[in-house]
Amino acid sequence: MEFLHNPYIWLILSFIIFMVILVRMGKAAFLSMLDSRIVKIREEIATAENLRVEAQELLAQYQRKHRDAVKEAGQIITDAEKRAEEITKAADEELKEITKRREKQLKERLERIEQSAINEIRSYAADLAIKATAEIIADHLDKASNAKLVDKAIKDLPENIH
């Protein structure tokens, strides 16, 4: 019975009694608090799972959009390269055509210049020949011979006119 006089025993005993009372009376409140906390945690987990699924869907959607954009950019680049090649070919052909046209124009111009020069030379040569002939005739032809030639030319005029 000595143990009844020991304050530590009473302390332990009172603590055990307090815990039993606390467990009996607070068990329902404690369990309901734990249950509500569990329900809240489950709701948060479900919300987090939904958010994770939505995030994965958004990620997949953005990845598809990225692939489509990369594909479209590649197509745009390919189309631009083809168009640039077509423009280059067209410009080359146009340049060749312009060059041919210019060469033809230059050839025609040279031919006209050449023909003009030939005509000028012929005209000059004819004028020179006429002057030389006139001088030779003037030196060798007397007045009587001149009159005979003029009369003959007048007689032959109706025959020479068509």
Q: How far apart are CA 84 and CA 122, in angstroms?
A: 56
- Closest by CA to 145, choosing from 154, 137, 135, 156, is 137
pLDDT at 82: 96
pLDDT averaged over the chain? Answer: 90
Mean pLDDT for the stretch of residues 91-118: 95
Taking CA 25 as the corner, what is the angle to CA 23 and CA 26, rounded to the nearest 5 degrees? 65
pLDDT at 101: 96
Q: Structure tokens of 92?
A: 């080359």
Contact 9, 3 (CB under 8 A): yes
Q: How far apart are CA 133 and CA 141, in angstroms?
A: 11
pLDDT category, 162, cuts 50, 70, 90? low
Task: Give start and end residues of each alpha helix (H) in 141-161.
Answer: 143-160
Supply φ then ψ for residue 6, to 5 degrees: -85, 125
Note the pLDDT tens digit of each residue in 14-48. 999 988 888 888 888 888 888 999 999 999 999 99
Note the pLDDT tens digit of each residue in 42-87. 999 999 999 999 999 999 999 999 999 999 999 999 999 999 999 9
Amino acid identity at 68: D
